[in-house]
Amino acid sequence: MAVESPEVPLHEGGDDKKLKREFGTIGLLFTAVGSIIGSGWLFGALDAAQLAGPAAIISWAIGCVMFVIIGMTYSELGTMFPHSGGVARYPHYSFGSFTSFSIGWVTWIAAAAVAPVEVLAVVQYSTNYIPWLQEIKDKEAVLTPAGTAVSVVLMAVFVIVNFFGVRWFARINNILVWWKLAVIVVVIAMFFVLSFNPDHITAPEYGGFAPYGSQGVFSAVATAGIAFSFFGFRQGVELAGETDNPKRNVPLTLIGSVVICGIIYILLQIAFLGAVPSSAIKAEGWQAVGAHFSSHGDVLATFGPLAAIAGILGAVWLAGILYADAIISPGDTGLIYAGVTARISYAMGRNGNAPAGLSKVNKTGVPWVSLILAFIVGCFFFLPFPGWSKLVEFVTNSTVLSFGCGPLVLLAMRKQMPDHPRPFHLGGKFGWIIGFLALWSTNLIIYWTGWDTNWKLFVAIILGYVLMAVYYAVAKQETPPLDFKHGWWLLVWYGGLAVISYLGDYPVQAEKAGNLGLLDFNLGAVACLVLTAVVLWLALRCALPTERVEEILNKLDETEEAPKAH
């Protein structure tokens, strides 16, 4: 349960006095679990099976391990600096304003898209009984004008709930998470009981365990909603300044939420593989199974795959529960991310490389200006974009890229502030190993996402730099030093990822995406390994000197009372 706690000094409970520290152990953990269990589980089992076949089980396990490793790096940082919006703020401490803006921009764009994606999931399942919400165009579900209006209203609901502060939010979320966990457990159990054919997983007549090889397995991690499904672990960082005991709650949330949900997702994938009608697999293989497991063709599969299977199995009551949960699960995650997006732009305002107005908070401790901005920008994602899956791919590569700076800050802080208290410490050499593996995992996931999605990310990054240049040119408030000499290595990182992605063979049909397909899985992995080593070496050489880090942190002390509540 969320509890109140007294004010605590900077770096122990955060620098954000106007933000309320009302997330307790269960409240923060459940916020992460609730964020993880969103729309990913409703669509991910089908999408992963179509890309990897039964080997999708391995895909979920790989995704879980990768995010545990990434989460471990943020566990140390989150207890060192329990500041809300930490993903955007930590790069500022180690590398200065250019780096923090770069990472903050990518983080904000990705987070701003999540709540709309979850709304799309709600609407997509709801189309089964409210058919005027969406229609099928080119085999993709897109919003109708009426569906767009309903989506905007749902986004507004997210904003209103967040506006009343974290205490109301935590109380609502704890109830919803218990519901979501119960529904997933029931679905897994009923799929096993009603129709589970283990031959689907290994028998040659169904394609064997890995019909699409290693490329399918790793592509599923990035593009089937697997990586997307684990992003909620970040709540332990983003809300670290609003928890009563960061030393205990931050590591527990970052690592525990990924492990708990990873186990659940793997069991769900196994249950799904065994419950799919055999005729659907035999028709055209796993890659087209979604178009064949219902009497309604690919339409019902698009709008609600798990509910479609439940209906085929005769469990009409279970299908009804799934349709209800398709509103609750994504809705809860959208509710969470509406607040998270606001806290990221709040953090950028605190860093000084975005307008100061973004860091204004109201009497309930909510950054209300940032919350309204998140609503406005989020509504743009309801334009006639492709359906859930395509938006998830963009959110995946941008979010993972933002996580990649965490390992770099972790290792830089080992040199910059070796004596700073670390309530959660990864250890000496172990910390370096984890940091390297976390950055490599980041690069691999972006590579596996494929060029057809990655090029859009790089265009968004360029747009961000244009906005940064305009802001520094016209800003009336004092802006921090750009610190470009401490952040130019980011351009090497971004450029390297762009080159590797363009040369690679992801997605599977690389020629249709415009990339060259010269690097296979093995060569691509080696290229990402080399890039990881180069970026790590450059970043650590360019890190801010200790006195500059202390100056930044001391300035946080001096401005602790700002911004004023409105």
Please report, for the chain, the start and end positions of each structural domain, with discontinuous segments joined by +: 25-449
CA atoms within 13 A on the CB side of 256: 16
Instruction: List pLDDT tens digits, range 246-291.
Output: 667 777 788 888 999 999 999 999 999 999 988 888 878 888 887 7
pLDDT at 144: 81
- DSSP, residue by residue, 478-516: ------GGGTTHHHHHHHHHHHHHHHB--SSSHHHHT--
Name the token pair of 478: 């004092």
Q: State whether the Cα torsion 45-46-47-48 is positive or negative.
A: positive
Q: Is the pTM of this model over 0.85?
A: no
Q: What is the pLDDT of residue 171?
A: 67
Kindly report, residue by residue over 45-90, the tens digit of the pLDDT: 888 999 999 999 999 999 999 999 998 888 888 778 877 667 778 8
Instruction: Please state whether 386 falls in left (phi above 0), alpha (psi between -120 and 50) or beta.
Output: beta
Asked whether the CA dihedral 253, 254, 255, 260 is positive or negative, the reply is positive
Region 325-348 average pLDDT: 79
The answer, yes or no, to whether residue 132 has pLDDT greater than 50, is yes
**Is 561 or 283 the better-scoring residue by pLDDT?**
283
119-141 average pLDDT score: 76
The mean pLDDT value for 489-516 works out to 83
Amino acid 320: pLDDT: 87
Q: Of 86, 145, 80, nearest to 111 (Cα)? A: 86
Rounded to whole angstroms, what are the CA distances from 503 to 140, 216, 236, 514? 28, 18, 36, 10
Find the mean pLDDT for residues 300-315: 75
DSSP designation for 545: P
Environment class of residue 473 by beta-carbon count within 10 Å: exposed (0-12), middle (13-18) or buried (19+)?
exposed
Q: What's the CA gap between 531 and 537, in Å, rounded?
A: 10
Quick one: average pLDDT of 203-210? 90
Give percent above pLDDT 90 in the chain. Answer: 27
Question: What pLDDT does 62 receive?
Answer: 95
Quickly state the pLDDT bin for 526 (edges 50, 70, 90). Answer: very high
How much is the average pLDDT of 458-480? 85
Q: What is the pLDDT of residue 192?
A: 94
Q: What is the dihedral of CA 263, 267, 268, 269, to 10 degrees?
A: 100
Most confident of 9-18, 34-43, 96-105, 355-364: 96-105
**What is the per-residue pLDDT for 481?**
80
CATH number of 25-449: 1.20.1740.10
Q: What is the pLDDT of residue 345?
A: 81
pLDDT at 99 over 50: yes
Reported confidence tier of residue 490, pLDDT bands at 50, 70, 90 = very high
Judge whether residue 557 has pLDDT over 70. Answer: no
Alpha-carbon span 288 to 281, nearest angstrom: 8
Q: What is the pLDDT of residue 241?
A: 56
Does 5 score more than 50 pLDDT? Answer: no
* Residue 2 pLDDT exceeds 70: no
Instruction: Report which of residues 295 and 159 the model is more confident about.
Output: 159
Average pLDDT over residues 131-151: 79
> What's the CA gap between 197 and 495, in Å, rounded?
47
Could you tell me if 524 and 504 are in contact, meaning their C-beta atoms sit under 8 angstroms apart? yes
% of the chain beyond a pLDDT of 70: 83
Has residue 299 got a pLDDT over 50? no
Q: Which residue has the tokens 């202390």?
A: 550
* Mean per-residue pLDDT over the chain, rounded: 80
| pLDDT the model gives residue 492 | 97
The pLDDT score that the predictor gives to residue 169 is: 60
Neighbours of 310 (CB within 10 A): 24
More confident residue, 382 or 204: 204
Lowest mean pLDDT: which of 17-26, 41-50, 518-527? 17-26
b vs e for 272-305, b when ≥16 Cβ sit within 10 Å of the residue's Cβ? Answer: bbbbbbeebbeeeebbebbbbbbeeeebbbbbbb
**Residue of 57, 43, 181 lying closest to 122 (CA atoms):** 43
In tens, the pLDDT along 400-433 reads 898 899 899 999 999 999 988 888 888 778 889 9
96 or 515, which is more confident: 96
Asked if residue 126 has pLDDT above 70, the reply is: yes
Whose structure tokens read 């990881």?
532
Average pLDDT of span 85-99 = 84
Which amino acid is residue 513, in one-letter code? Answer: A
